[in-house]
Structures are given as C-alpha cells and as structure tokens.
Amino acid sequence: MQTEMGHDLHLSGHGSSTGGFYRNVHLEGLSTIDGDVVCEQCTAHGVARMHGNLRADMTAFHGKADVLGDMVTGSAEIHGTIRVSGVCDVAKILRIHGTSRLQGGVRADVLNIHGRTHVGAECVAREVELHGIAQFAQDIRAERMDCSGVLHLGGPCEAESFSCKGQVHSSGLINAERVHIRLHAKSEVQEIGCTELRVERGRGWFARRHKLVVDIIEGDHIYVENVVAKRIRGNRITLGNGVYAERVEYREELNRHHGAKVKEAVQV
Amino acid sequence: MEQELISKKELLDVTGISYGQLYRWKRKDLIPEEWFIRKSTFTGQETFFPREKILTRIEQIKQLKDDLSLDELARRFSPDPAEIALSGEEMVRKGIVSEQSWRVYQLEHPNVAVCSFQETVFASVVHRALASGDVGLDEARSALRALEQSITVFSDLRVRIVCVRKLGVSVWVVQAADGQLVVDPDAKLVFEADVSECIEELKLKLM
C-alpha cells in the first residue's frame, strides 16, 4: 500500500484524531477517529470508534470497535465486539472471536468466526468457518462452508461443500455439491438442492427428537435420517430411521429403513 | 409477453440431466436466477422455466462442457462485458454486423475505427434490427441513439429494445428486461430485441 508519510498515530487514554495516512496506528483506551484512516497496520485496544472508512494492510481490534464506514483490509483479527456499518472487504483472513455485526456485507477469502455474528448483506468468501450463532440476512456464497452451532440463513446459500453440525434455519434454498448436516435440536430449511445429501441425527439422549423439517429436497444421492419432508426427489434415495415424507420420487433406487414413514413413493 | 413454461421434472426428463447438474449449473450462474419461476400447483410449490430458453441453454452447455470449464462457460453466458476491441472489418468478417449496418453505425460515429465491447453490442443490435427487414435505415440509426442514451439510466445491459410504429411514425423504447410493455392497439410493435440475448450470441461468435 502506498503510504508516503511514514508517521505513526498513537492514541492512548481518551484520544481523538481526524484520520489520515499513517504507517502504524495504535489506539489504546477510548479513541475516536472522525475521518478516513489509511495505514499499514491498525491495532486497537479498548473502545475504538471510527466515523470514516478504514483501510489497512493488517487490522487487529481487542475490545470494542465501531466502524461506521467501510473496512477494507488485508487481514483482520478481532477479539471482542465489532460493528461495521459499511462493507467489510478482507483480502485474506477475517477472524472474529466475540460478537460482531457486519451490516454492509462481507467479502473475504477466509472467514473464521467464533461467537455470535450477524451479517446484514451479501456474504462472499472462499472458505467460511462458523462456530456459535451466525445469522446471514441475505445471500451467502462460498466454496466451503463449515459450521457448528446455530445457523440462520435469510437468503439463498450456495457452496461447493456445506456441512453443519447443529441447527440450520433457512428461508431460502441451500444449493451445494455436497450437503452434510448433523442434526441437533430442530432445524428448518425450505429447500435443499444438491448432488449429495447426508442428514444424520446427532448423538445423545434425545437424538431421536432431533428433526429437520424441509419443504423440498432434490438431489442425486440422498441419505436422510430424522427428516420431515413434503417432497424428496432424487436418483438414489435412502430413508433412514425417523423419516416422514409425504411424497418420494426416485429414479433408480429407494431404500427404506423400517422406521421411515412414507405416504407415497413413486418411481419416475 | 406470455411464454411457454416447462416444469423442472419435465425438463430433467427431456434433457436427461440430473438434479445435481441442474443445481451445479445454477450455482455457476450458467442458468440465470430469473429463469427459476416459482408457482404453486396442487402438489405444492413447483419450479418452472421458460421452455425455449432453458432447452437451448442446456443443449449449449451439454455441447460445450467437455471442451470448456464451467467457469469459462459462465463467462460466456453472462451478459457482463468482455474485454475486446474490434475494428469494423473484423466485425463484418466475423458476421457480427453486415457491411450495410456497419455503414449505418459509421454515419452515427464517423470517427470510430475500433469498437469496445459495448459499442460492438450496439452495432450488433443495429445489425439485428436491419436484418429483420422491418426497420428502415434511419430508424436503425435512431435505435443506436436510443441505446446510447439508455446506458446512463441502466446500470447493466440487461435491457430490451422495442420499436413501435403508429401512422408511419416510429418510436424506440428501451426498457428493463423483465418489464412489461403494453402498446396502443392501433400501434404496431415492429421490432424487439433482448440486448442480453444479443450479447450471448455475440460472445458465441467471438469465442
């Protein structure tokens, strides 16, 4: 990044600045920045509030951070609470431990989130790893999606591989090459479209109560357990224990566990 | 503009592709989102497609997928601009425009020697209009003007251009691709073209 001025900005205690071009930015304590900041490295401890955009090669926040503009950075490591009102554009890894609200959407290579997160707009990443509670209000596109915990999807989700341990709540389509869901408690998905689907119940005392309620499943190879579905359509379908399906349409093969209930099964 | 629809199930039967392939192609943007039309039927929600468009698209994909990667195919089908610069002679040679329509284009832009992607698209639309035989030379020229005006309004080239004629006076209308258009019953819809379709055709000719 071109920063002609090699000055550092160091704020500690109760500090404020109007922003500008810097090499290193260190914020400690209660800091407010009123304009845009362009720097090589931005580190903040404590409460930081940025009223403009932040552009940095490397960003690290510890504590509470509020960015009211866009955050464009090479890589970011965040511990604590962060809110970004604009777009969050990270060239490499965005790692968040704690609570985050990313209102303007995310673009990243790798997205690694532990804790609670809310993404208010479109999210595009190569790899997404989520642990905890994640909420995506709109579309999400990734090559690999790996989550454990609770996942809320407000829009369609597209991935090459989608795997989830825990709960999924989706009001749109989950479209992936391979979908693997290990159920925990109750999940609800409107539609799944894939090549390979595997839905398994979790382990534990109440595993048989774990359910996935879904409108339509369409895929080539389908294996499901504990699924309540209106329609299941595919080439080879295996219905495991605890499945209830209103209508199953298969092309080649249908295997049914004796604990699976099917109202109507047709070969097409 | 009622179009004939095909249900997803019928589509798979006719083309012999599987659900996995269909979803994969959708994911790669080979099949645009707008073609997935949801309708409720007595068996619940079903997805339908515009029959003609989806069948030709799937044929194309099946033919090309062995030679090209899916990403390359996606680039070819998307209406996003490609990086090209073509001279008039090249466009005529590749069959994008006829000599006649290139002359019309030059009347409007006498100094243009090399066309960018967008200019090439517009030239090909003019060519299409002239080739249809329903549009006169002067009208084709004003079509070009209408298109060039419209790009300040529309962010991309997902538009349709329509020529309406009444009592010998013709008017060009550029509208968003999914917009409805109703014309005066006395007027005649002389010509219509989907610019994104022109782009697709153009890309096939170029690559």
Query: Tens digits of per-residue pLDDT, A181-213?
Result: 999 889 999 999 999 999 998 888 888 888 999
Same structural domain, B22 and B120: no
Whether residue B109 is found in the same domain as residue B33: no
Domain assignment of residue A168, yes or no: yes
Considering the domain boundaries, does residue A78 fall inside one?
no
Residue with tokens 């597209």: A158
Calculate what percentage of chain B has a pLDDT beyond 90: 0
List the single best residue of B12, B19, B40 to mutate versus A (max A Cβ within 10 A).
Answer: B19
- The residues on A that touch B, with CB distances below 8 Å, are 158, 160, 175-177, 193-196, 215-216, 218-220, 230-231, 233-235, 247, 249, 268
pLDDT band at B81 (very low <50, low <70, confident <90, very high): low
User: How high is the pLDDT of residue A77?
Assistant: 93
Rounded mean pLDDT, A216-227: 92
Supply the pLDDT for residue A73. 93
Q: How far apart are CA B105 and CA B126, in angstroms?
A: 8
Tens-place pLDDT, residues B155-173:
777 788 888 888 888 888 8
Rounded Cα–Cα distance for residues A186 and A256 (Å): 23
In the beta sheet, which residues pair with residue A26? Answer: A10, A43
Q: How many domains, chain B?
A: 2
For chain B, give the mean pLDDT. Answer: 81
Q: In chain A, whose CA is at the least distance from the CA of B24?
A: A177
3-state SS, one letter per residue, for B46-112: EEEEEHHHHHHHHHHHHHHCCCCCHHHHHHHHCCCCCCCCEEHHHHHHCCCCCHHHHHHHHHHCCCC
Q: How confident is the model at residue A3 (pLDDT cuts 50, 70, 90)?
A: very low
Find residue A238's DSSP bridge partners.
Answer: A223, A255
- Taking a C-beta distance cutoff of 8 angstroms, is the pair A95, A78 a contact? yes
pLDDT at B206: 72
- Total of domains in chain A: 1
How close B68 comes to chain A (CA, Å)?
19
Place of tokens 């996606």: B74
pLDDT of residue A33: 92
Task: Summarize pLDDT for A10-20 with one digit per residue, the tens.
Answer: 998 898 999 88
Query: How far, in Å, CA of A216 to CA of A230, rounded?
Result: 6
What local confidence, expressed as pLDDT, does residue B108 receive? 79
Euclidean distance between CA atoms B186 and B183, whole angstroms: 8
Residues of B in contact with A234 (CB under 8 A): 19
For residue A258, give the DSSP letter: T
Residues B53 and B104 grouped into a single domain? no
User: Which of these ranges, A157-161, A237-241, B107-111, has the smallest mean pLDDT?
Assistant: B107-111
> Is residue A121 within 8 Å of A139, Cβ to Cβ?
no
In a domain, A57, yes or no: no
Residues B108 and B141 in one domain: yes
Q: Are strands B159-166 and B169-176 parallel, antiparallel or unpaired?
A: antiparallel
DSSP code at position B34: G
User: Which of the two residues, B92 and A188, has the higher pLDDT score?
Assistant: A188
What is the domain range of residue B22?
A: 5-77
Instruction: Tell me how far apart the alpha carbons of residues A236 and A259 are, in angstroms, rounded to a whole number.
Output: 18
A175 and B9: CB-CB below 8 Å? no
At residue A1, does pLDDT exceed 50?
no
Last residue of some domain: B44, B77, B110? B77
Looking at the predicted structure, is the pLDDT value of residue B30 above 90? Answer: no
Question: Which of these, A136, A138, A98, lies nearest to A116 by C-alpha position?
Answer: A98
Residues whose CB falls within 8 Å of the CB of residue B119, separated by 6 or more in sequence, listed in order: B109, B112
Strand pairing report for A211-224 and A186-201: parallel
| Confidence class for position A144, pLDDT limits 50, 70, 90 | very high
pLDDT surpassing 90 at residue B73: no
Confidence (pLDDT) at A34: 92
In 3D space, the residue among A117, A78, A71 whose CA is nearest the CA of residue A97 turns out to be A78
- Give residue-wise pLDDT tens across range B175-194: 887 778 888 888 888 888 88
A240 domain-assigned: yes
Is residue B55 located within the same domain as residue B103? no
Q: Are residues B99 and B38 in the same domain?
A: no
Residue A142 pLDDT class (50, 70, 90 cuts): very high
Tokens of A20: 């500008």
Q: Judge whether residue B109 has pLDDT over 90.
A: no
d(CA A218, CA A250): 10
- Given a cut of 80, whether residue B76 has pLDDT beyond it is no
d(CA A61, CA A43): 6
Q: Are residues B197 and B126 in the same domain?
A: yes
Which token pair is A10? 């160091």
Structure-token pair, residue B38: 């949801």
Residue in this structure with the two tokens 């009347």, named with its chain if needed: B107
> What's the domain range around A217?
160-268
Chain A residues whose CB is inside 8 A of the B24 CB are 177, 195
In a shared domain, residues B60 and B101: no
Q: Token pair for residue A31?
A: 């800091």
What is the distance between the alpha carbons of residues B72 and B81, in angstroms, rounded to a whole number?
14
Q: Which residues of A touch B43 (CB under 8 A)?
A: 231, 247
pLDDT computed for residue B80 by the predictor: 65
Q: In this predicted model, what pLDDT tens digit does every residue of B36-52 receive, in sequence order? A: 888 887 777 788 888 88
Residue A111 has pLDDT above 50, yes or no: yes
| Closest residue by Cα to residue B202 from B108, B128, B104 | B128
List, for residues A31-90, the tens digit of each pLDDT value.
Answer: 999 999 999 999 999 999 999 999 999 999 999 999 999 999 999 999 999 999 999 999
Identify from A179, A191, A195 which residue to disrupt to test chain B contact, counting B C-beta atoms within 10 A and taking the largest count.
A195
Q: What's the pLDDT at B149?
A: 82
Count Cβ atoms within 10 A of the Cβ of residue A4 and give its class: 0-12 exposed, 13-18 middle, 19 or more buried. Answer: exposed
| Percentage of the residues of chain A whose pLDDT score is greater than 70 | 98
Amino acid occupying residue A130: L
The residues, ordered by sequence, that sit 6+ positions from A248 with a Cβ below 8 Å of its Cβ are: A231, A232, A233, A237, A239, A254, A262, A264, A265, A266
Q: Is the pLDDT of residue A92 over 60?
A: yes
Task: Render pLDDT for B120-155 as a digit per residue (tens, 0 to 9).
Answer: 888 888 888 888 888 888 888 888 888 888 877 777
- Cα B170–Cα B122–Cα B69 angle in degrees, nearest 5: 140
Say yes or no: B60 and B99 in one domain.
no
Rg (CA), chain A: 23
Rounded CA separation B72/B64 (Å): 10
Cα angle A147, A150, A151 (rounded to 5 degrees) comes to 70
Coil, strand or helix at A94: strand
Instruction: Round to whole Å and give the CA distance between B205 and B173.
Output: 27
pLDDT of residue B153: 78
Going by DSSP bridges, is the β-strand pair A37-50/A24-33 parallel, antiparallel, or unpaired?
parallel
**Both B181 and B106 in a single domain?**
yes
β-pairing, A71-84 vs A93-102, is parallel
CA A98 to chain centre: 14
What CATH number has the domain bearing residue B17?
1.10.1660
Question: Domain check: are B103 and B173 in the same one?
Answer: yes
- Across the interface, of B19, B26, B45, the residue whose CB is closest to A234 is B19
End-of-domain residue from the set B49, B77, B105: B77
Nearest neighbour of B19 by CB, restricted to A160, A215, A218:
A218
Share above pLDDT 90 across residues of chain A, in percent, rounded to a whole number: 81
B69 and B91 share a domain? no
Q: Which of A160, A176, A220 is opposite residue B19, by nearest beta carbon?
A: A220
